[in-house]
Chains A and B, each alone.
Chain A
């Protein structure tokens, strides 16, 4: 915004704009856009133009829906037009002359509800469906959502490009089925006699204006829905899945549920739009819903900005404007130019029909040069002050901790009990009959040379890897083979050896995702933003900032910076903050001081120690034995997947077996 202002000439407009306070700028912008949208048909009474605008709005709605699946959740759906078709045919069949089953008493209650009518034909009485457009809008959305789940379910375990192909497959099957079942859909000839909507007795007919306003309302509603979802627990969960599915699961996000939710909501948008579109057109043919339509919506969101709500609306509208108006005008100018310079083909070129070529060019161009789109989803952040940039490594750890799960520090019995744990990868035995007890309130360190199975141990505990044999008990409950998000819910949080943050999300968002399992707001709550939801979100934000402030001015000034822009050490700290946000009882830290200089190492060691003093049980993989000696009460040594020693740090350090494991056997002992 500020860049636009600075380029405006020194007019009173510039002075006027800068006088509007920052937080009201968005509201002003939205009001202006809303006013323009509402006034448009009054300014330009041309019915063809209004109809084109209504079409543009339909595609904006589709773009918003696809944006949820592709932009928010990162699931590349190449068959999105199928849901458009389903919504269209649902309304089409429910309100046209297409399907007329024989009358029977079964239909009587529906007639009473005015959903069907009874028609007398020479051959007998038949049922005529006449479901109201307004009723069908949400029903079609629900039907489409159902199919969204149906088509999405098989793709849950597939990687990105395979997922795309499967959705493409479904996307093609739907219109072909529509074409091949003429008894229901009238095949390629298209549904006939789809009823126009009626509002309080007023029939919409063929005038484009009422449809236009319905379109405006639909798009406005979908924009609001998208914005609310994006800025909520749901949106964060989707984006976490998009950035790093595994880390998202480890932080408590139920991947299956949220992927299906994205498919469902995205499909619902398309279903409602399908109903709107077919009501306006009063017919539907299979050709309207084939692969090129899916690609067109994809081009729109790529052009506008994947993940950006306003961006994809701008993308859709601008490409539609391009197609409906600009290209025709441009063709006209080229014709005149051709006449002027006597070039024949210029006089006959029709750019409007080359719109698909232009789409292809746009897609390639955007992918090569501006993958983030016209209006990128990520915001730029203010630069840091000099004070905020430098940080001194401090000692002493944390003196107070925000709400962590009240752990009973010295409760009887071990908190984490691992017995006979065996993990095999094909022929390789990564862990062999490992036994490990972590008493509540202690710090236990796991050490060992490269490849000894330490990270595999963590993966088995947190559900990322299923053990072949063995038990893992957490507070007495078996958790082996649980799904990762369930493990987090019980109170076990972790960090990763190679730091798995969500790179395109801010530091604050990363930490708030850690809270995912402790918050309650669902899709409905995110949409409605009831006081309870707003309170929960505000509290969550406060807590997240409080956790960030634990690390002094290292993280807090960077709360709105993208995680990818942080230094290695700060990313490590953010990852720990994220794990803390989930209020764990046990914290699994995988080489937390890797890559840090000695001063930073000691600072972090102090912080870990203070976490333990405040009641957190800690299981630590660490190479720096000084750190281990400082923190751990008990050390477990792994080598080639087996436990070879256990005891106090001092004892382990002197243990011959341990030394041999690290330094290798000499030839004499081989």
Chain B
């Protein structure tokens, strides 16, 4: 299976703060890969680096075998990477429909657009019900559905999800994770950042665990679920130096 996304010894800095320290990730096409870790571990920075809002100070991020060095965010979206942002970040005073449209911003209108819209409606029937409502008036869980739908409207090959369960009630969390499984089954590769390690490991194929910017654990989800080491990493015990 060729790698869809690859981080090769990527370092990032924020001023003089060393955020990501020589991290390596490999996400093969069709996988669900989770990025786990406690607070301030570098998870969000990773997502930003994939989307292009953070530029690595060294190392290389490769997508579809080509380097993303110098590639704009808009171009990355066009090439098939779409984000589901942390805390949703829908456009509050635009309707649900308009938000979905914005997801397809880089694509022309046409039959493909209509297909994708229909697909979103199938996945999220409640979204179709609220099509003309202002996105800011929806509940957290509904917003998450719209946010995922918005990303799907870009017809992505790679979906980057930043903490999809944050702020959601347990019922919604289950729904969201079911939908993620279904999207993956339909062919979309998922790279997901999650605080909720337990649930993430139940749907992931593989996972990486970050601690203060370094990868301290990685492997198949099934293995990681058994080990005590994850707990250590989350509770901030110094496992790596």
Contact = CB atoms under 8 A, between A and B. Distances in A.
Contacts of A624: 236-238
A206 interface: no
A123 interface: no
A625 B173 CA distance: 28
Nearest to B18: A595
Contacts of A198: none
Interface stretch (A270-278, A576-584, A658-666): A658-666
Contacts of A107: none
Contacts of A626: 236-238
B118 interface: no
Interface in A615-670: 622-628, 653, 659, 662-667, 670
User: Chain B CB within 10 Å — which of A622, A627, A664 has the most?
Assistant: A664
A450 B241 contact: no
A598 B238 contact: yes
A601 to B, nearest CB: 8
Interface stretch (B77-85, B91-99, B191-199): B191-199
A413 interface: no
A221 interface: no
Interface string B99-120: 0000000000000000000000
Interface string A586-625: 0000010011001000000000000000000000001111
B75 interface: no
B238 A664 contact: no
A663 B198 contact: yes
Given A625-B235, A625-B236, A666 B15 contact: no
A665 B168 CA distance: 12
A599 to B, nearest CB: 9
A99 B194 CA distance: 77
A627 B171 CA distance: 36
B231 interface: yes
A598 B237 contact: no
B237 A663 contact: no
Interface residues of B, number: 31
A665 B199 contact: yes
A609 B97 CA distance: 56
Contacts of B173: 670
B231 A659 contact: yes
Contacts of B166: 451
Given A449-B39, A598-B238, A667 B16 contact: no
B194, B231, B235, B241: residue with the most chain A Cβ atoms closer than 10 Å: B235
Interface in B226-241: 230-231, 234-238, 241
Interface string B163-178: 0011100110110010
Interface string B6-32: 000000000111100000000000000
Contacts of A666: 198-199, 202
Given A598-B241, A662-B234, A663-B198, A567 B16 contact: yes
B237 to A, nearest CB: 6
A568 interface: yes
A663 B231 contact: yes
Nearest to A666: B198
B241 A667 contact: no
Contacts of A662: 38, 231, 234-235
Interface in B175-203: 177, 194-200, 202
Interface in B117-176: 165-167, 170-171, 173-174
A623 B40 contact: yes
A458 B120 CA distance: 43
A595 to B, nearest CB: 5
Contacts of B231: 659, 662-663
B170 A663 contact: no
Contact of B177 (A449, A567, A627, A667): A667
B233 to A, nearest CB: 10
Contact of B202 (A451, A594, A667): A667
B221 to A, nearest CB: 12
Contacts of A623: 38-40, 236
Given A449-B195, A625-B235, A670-B174, A664 B16 contact: no
Contact of B174 (A449, A451, A667): A667
A363 to B, nearest CB: 31
B74 to A, nearest CB: 28
Interface in A418-457: 449-451
B37 to A, nearest CB: 11
A450 B43 CA distance: 12
Contacts of A568: 15-17
Contact of A664 (B40, B197, B235, B241): B197
B191 to A, nearest CB: 18
A351 B158 CA distance: 63
The residue in B39, B234, B237, B241 that gathers the most chain A C-beta atoms within 10 A of its C-beta is B39
Nearest to A663: B197
A670 B241 contact: no
A567 B14 CA distance: 11
Interface string A491-519: 00000000000000000000000000000
A665 B198 contact: yes
B43 to A, nearest CB: 10
Which of the listed residues B173, B177, B198 has the most CB atoms from chain A within 10 Å of its own CB? Answer: B198
Contacts of B198: 663-667
Contacts of B196: 663-665
Contact of A670 (B18, B39, B170, B194): B170
A670 B171 contact: yes
Contacts of A627: 236
A532 to B, nearest CB: 42
Contacts of A567: 16
Given A664-B195, A664-B196, A595 B17 contact: yes
Contacts of B165: 664
Nearest to A451: B166
A665 B170 CA distance: 9
Nearest to B172: A670
A667 B172 CA distance: 11
For A450, A567, A627, which residue has the most chain B Cβ atoms within 10 angstroms? A450
Contacts of B202: 666-667
B32 to A, nearest CB: 15
B170 A594 contact: no
Interface string B39-61: 11000000000000000000000
Contacts of B237: 624-626
Contacts of A670: 170-171, 173-174, 199
Nearest to B240: A598
Interface string B201-241: 01000000000000000000000000000110011111001
A591 B41 CA distance: 13
Contacts of B236: 622-628
A451 to B, nearest CB: 7
A664 B166 CA distance: 10
A628 B198 CA distance: 24
A622 B194 CA distance: 20
Contacts of A450: 39, 195
B156 to A, nearest CB: 25
Contacts of A625: 235-237
Interface of B: 15-18, 38-40, 165-167, 170-171, 173-174, 177, 194-200, 202, 230-231, 234-238, 241
Interface of A: 449-451, 567-568, 591, 594-595, 598, 622-628, 653, 659, 662-667, 670
21 contacts: A449-B195, A451-B166, A568-B15, A568-B17, A623-B40, A624-B238, A625-B235, A625-B236, A626-B236, A662-B231, A663-B197, A664-B197, A664-B199, A665-B196, A665-B198, A666-B198, A666-B199, A667-B174, A667-B199, A670-B171, A670-B174
Q: What 7 A-B pairs are tightest by C-beta distance, nearest first? A: A664-B196, A666-B198, A670-B170, A624-B236, A663-B197, A625-B236, A623-B236
